[in-house]
Amino acid sequence: MAIGLDHFLVAAGATLLGAAVLTELRKPAGERTWHGNVVGVPYDLRPPTMARLQASLWNADNPALLVPHVFGVGWSVNLAGLARPLGLGPQAAGAPGTNTAA
């Protein structure tokens, strides 16, 4: 019986989440940060904050389109990075074509 792509992705995500938790639990209690990388995939298991949410999901100063999730395993889309090439939203500070004069 063939496993569908959706089942594979759920299993892969659960495996990465388990690996991230195991990585943290193997550290002494005082050294656990609850964020890092497991097999090259970022994870962040800390409670999300508004500042981290904004820095991840809408960061005009970050040219990257994919950024680590605010909570969980994997990547999110930096919507400012997606809007920039479309000419939507604010541009990065000091980016070419932006008017910084008052």
pLDDT in the model for residue 95: 52
Q: Residue 38: beta bridge partners?
A: 41
- What pLDDT score does 102 carry? 41
- Residue 6 banded pLDDT, cuts 50, 70, 90: very high
Query: How many CB atoms are located within 10 Å of the residue 50 CB?
Result: 8
Between 63 and 41, the higher pLDDT residue: 41
**What is the DSSP code string of 36-91?**
EEETTEEEE-SPP-HHHHHHHHS-TT---SEEE-SSEESEEE-HHHHHGGGT-SPP
Higher pLDDT, 6 or 99: 6
For residue range 43-97, list pLDDT tens digits in order: 999 999 999 998 889 988 888 889 999 999 999 999 988 887 777 766 555 555 4
Structure tokens at 49: 């904050």
Token pair 């889309």 is found at 77
